[in-house]
Amino acid sequence: MSASTPTPTPASTNKINITDLILRDAHQSLLATRLRTEDMLPICPKLDAIGYWSLECWGGATFDACVRFLKEDPWERLRQLREALPNTRLQMLLRGQNLLGYRHYSDDVVRAFVTRAAANGMDVFRIFDALNDVRNLRTAIEATKAVGKHAQGTICYTVSPVHDSAGFVAMGRELAAMGCDSIAIKDMAGLLTPYVTAELVKALKDSVPLPLHLHSHATAGLSEMCHLKAIENGCDTIDTAISALAGGTSHAPTESLVAALRGTPYDTGLDLEALQEIGVYFHQVRKKYHQFESEFTGVDTRVQVNQVPGGMISNLANQLKEQNALERMGAVLEEIPRVREDLGYPPLVTPTSQIVGTQAVLNVLTDNRYQTITNEVKRYLQGRYGQAPAPVNPELKEQAVGKEELIDCRPADLLKPELDRLTNEIGDLARSPEDTLTYAMFPEVGRAFLEHRAAGTLHPEPLEPPTSGLGPQAAPTEFNIAVH
């Protein structure tokens, strides 16, 4: 935390804290992560005056979107936000040993990434692993603590025969023992229901002496109710988004939760009228990005029936469309729980959502389960993503892995330090350690970004001009979210 930001306060008995997601998860969920820095900075003085516990503003898919589509330097975004938000904690979402990329990195890269993020202004590191394998969180947590920042250990919430409150509490205890400053429940799919939330929050608060944060997507329209029951059971901080980018696959509206708690022992103390002014700003901003709007932005409770996150359904629909097989969606939705069972019930979040979904599509389209096995499923069954929540299907493992190596150590234990190699590879294109990390996250796209920057040929993807009038509401056949 930079000198000018407040030091974390202990959880008070009653007052509820708010983390606003408007600068990260809200536009990642509703506008394909496309919000540009130029549309964040003008509102920062008002955001900074609110008194949020934190503003989530970096990490997740934003790093990728900056480099790939917006041709913005994500590190420069972070520095600008730090300067524009001197009184507010900045928070990021970090995929544990995957950082913000799509593979496991060696520990020296993880340490370098966390260190540079902290040096550029990050205060709170929300760290998760798709399998809830805490070994994949250890280095990132240690690195965060080493630079004196707030390490938030994250429990990915899911529903399965092997997941229950006791298991999540055990994970919470491990995270506390690893030195985390707080715990987050991450309900990326909107699976939580109010009374399940109540029980889980109470169990965690009874057993883990750390501040508890709840992150529960509004996909199924249950988020507000879940937050209320979490608060009543001791949750300290809730994640919300300014109403202009709330609801649907995003989050509960900040203003609504603040209004709901006003004048009660849980009062957030935030100024509702000041929040409404920020809402008006983002309503205008949202129009600029209309080309990234999903056809469907309403409530969708299907996840409460089939447990398949909305973002997965979108990807599956695209995969099936390419194969002219959209009519097999029903079969795929029935196959997903079977594949998930075979893989030991991983939570469905990046990258496990893709791994399970793609294999389910193959199983359906070939009409022969596991006739083709993806390389990712094979690597998963080898243990290369970490430990599955439950034993995997032994026959499938035998079939996929054969005589090849199985590992049961932490996957990154097999990785040699790679920072020097990456530094050498990218050479003069990197003007800073941050540039090297950009290259490390995205070898091709990151290199291209640095090359274009050097050549002065960075051009953000074009935005379509504003349209007028209202389009029709579409049926819920497609979705547009990443599972974060």
| C-beta neighbour count of 405 within 10 angstroms | 9
Residues 234-263 that bind a second copy (CB under 8 A): 243-244, 246-247, 252-253, 255-256, 258-260, 262-263
Please state the separation of Cα 314 from the chain's center in Å: 17
Report the partner that residue 25 touches, choosing among a second copy, Co ion, none (CB closer than 5 to 8 A by kind). Answer: Co ion
Work out how close the CB of 327 gets to a second copy at its nearest, in angstroms, rounded to a whole number: 16
With respect to a second copy, which residue has the nearer C-beta, 275 or 364?
A: 275
Cα–Cα distance between 484 and 261 in angstroms, integer?
Answer: 27
With respect to a second copy, which residue has the nearer C-beta, 140 or 241?
A: 241
With contacts defined by CB under 8 A, name the span among 75-83, 166-174, 215-223, 324-332 that binds a second copy: 215-223
Report the residue from 25, 56, 73, 224 that binds Co ion according to the rule CB under 5 A: 25
Cα–Cα distance between 34 and 264 in angstroms, integer?
Answer: 37
Helices (H), 17-106: 25-30, 37-40, 44-50, 62-65, 74-84
C-alpha distances in angstroms, 148 versus 58, 78, 86, 135, 174?
19, 18, 18, 21, 20
| C-beta neighbour count of 408 within 10 angstroms | 8
Q: Considering the rule CB under 8 A, would residue 317 count as an interface residue with a second copy?
A: no
Residues 448-467 that bind a second copy (CB under 8 A): 466-467
DSSP letter, residue 69: I
Q: Which residues pair with 386 in a beta bridge?
A: 384
Judged by CB under 8 A, the number of residues near a second copy is 56
Report the partner that residue 195 touches, choosing among Co ion, a second copy, none (CB closer than 5 to 8 A by kind). Answer: a second copy
Q: Considering the rule CB under 5 A, would residue 239 count as an interface residue with Co ion?
A: no
Residues 291-310 that bind a second copy (CB under 8 A): 293, 295-296, 298-302, 304-305
With respect to a second copy, which residue has the nearer C-beta, 241 or 401?
A: 241
Q: Which bin fits 43, alpha (ψ -120 to 50), beta or left (φ > 0)?
A: alpha
Report the residue from 94, 134, 185, 222 that binds a second copy according to the rule CB under 8 A: 222
Cα–Cα distance between 439 and 446 in angstroms, integer?
Answer: 5
C-alpha distances in angstroms, 309 versus 76, 272, 325, 404?
32, 32, 20, 33
The closest of 405, 387, 383, 311 to 346, measured between CA atoms, is 387
With contacts defined by CB under 8 A, name the span among 75-83, 154-162, 284-292, 408-416 that binds a second copy: 284-292
Q: Give the residues lining the site for a second copy (CB under 8 A).
A: 193-195, 220-222, 224-225, 228-229, 243-244, 246-247, 252-253, 255-256, 258-260, 262-264, 272-273, 275-276, 279-280, 283-284, 286-287, 290, 293, 295-296, 298-302, 304-305, 466-476
Q: Give the residues lining the site for Co ion (CB under 5 A).
A: 25, 484
